[in-house]
Structure 1
């Protein structure tokens, strides 16, 4: 079969077939009387072998080695090709994300594009101070891409840089909620902790809904941050977590303050009082826990907790009794 017919049937151009010949990859078996290349069926099969290996990303040199060595084992080469392909895909994905970030910033001119590129380089820097500077120094005429900031927030381990990124994300308003909320579904607890801290600083009902859902997170730190943030927004579903924080002494002062604010609503005041009083009665063996509960009760508005505090003034532990009595006296003065 002549070269033109081979090219038509195989889809490989005559120029490439001549190139294969010059490299020794596929040399036609014969020549016509006029000197034209003539390919046998075996030659054509080899052409398809070459094309198949090239489709895997192999160079012509690698293809030649593979076809020339009868004992060639493909596992090592294929493994190398897999790694190279993964690296290439990673670079392409990074490029795609960069382009999306630039598109999301809606730059008015090339200065805006260059600023976003500079921001991207800054956030990718191995230097924490450089990453922090990038987050804290946005251009006034360029919108910081919320999607980019959200991704950076979820991956940033340095606390100072993370704080700067959360600040920058909060400036973007509610646009960043969806990107950070994705972190709440991560199997990595550190990612969920970063996500809940960021969402706590974002406004809007969507952020509040994510915080409310985080009250059921298996990680106590995530639940704690979610309870403080959602409780401060009036979410009463945070009450059990907040009471548990008082019992365990984890941010108990902040938890008591949030419970006090929630108890300003008469519809929930008795529920909160009952939850704290119930824990007070249940923790008969731990005086330190009862002291924290007594102090949290005293934070409740008005004289709501006065009767419970009077009862605790008879606690068998002298320190608990004295604190409860003193706090009850203070509430008596409020009532008068």
Structure 2
């Protein structure tokens, strides 16, 4: 059984409504609603008739409207993410989406690049969000102010935002960089260099500060301090340029794994260096690719599972208690020894 819908010559078919199902099934609109509501009473034969007609017409209840009517929640959670070319961002996004789905939430992903603007974020606030998870490092704290006015909880991941009512989950980046320097020095390296990422991101600022502090504590000065863009290609180009000018470097700390993998490839392919004998390299994040046998990259683990677990916990607690005090979680970094140091 098919029902014709009214539409103009050039218009697209509209979504089938509960009223249309009720009319085709010969029942009331409320009977259709009860047929799709778990636990609601409706005669068995009538329910079967309604569900059959609904399937034939292609009707599905509006879950968003139903949620807002029942408990005031849409189950929509926006995730503002950074550049998904960055393997860490893409891997943690996948874990976040899986975790939100397990909570019965529907992720709305916004971004996918590092140049996402505040206006882009404010645009999604027009939807009835349950919460906003902010992973875009360049978005200003004023976004949290807008969310507060709309009673939309904000969970910040990847940096610490000192704003009332905002919860933060972030790796202890400075400590991670200090561990990397200690590991390189412990191996016997004395000529150390640093390759950082995008300077406006707090993660790079903290990792650079940790590297410089650890070097100062050791009474040493870096051979080179370079900035790149967190990409494999950026790391490759930075080391190619560096080693073209000097070979007085035996240890390299890169602010993320992608750049470390690019640095390792450039050292081996462009200059025939052996890693780690000629040049020891340590990355940061511990993305899945770092453990591949062809790379076997030593790195600082920025634990994704623990990060996502804390984000989801904070989200649930914030939804249950909107006025609770802000909480900041610092994830302890861990050195993962593999074959490049």
TM-score past 0.5 threshold: no
| Length-normalised TM-score, structure 1 | 0.24
| Length-normalised TM-score, structure 2 | 0.23
Greater helix fraction, Structure 1 or Structure 2 = 1
Greater strand fraction, Structure 1 or Structure 2 = 2
Q: Which has the higher contact order (CA 8 A, sep 6+)?
A: 2
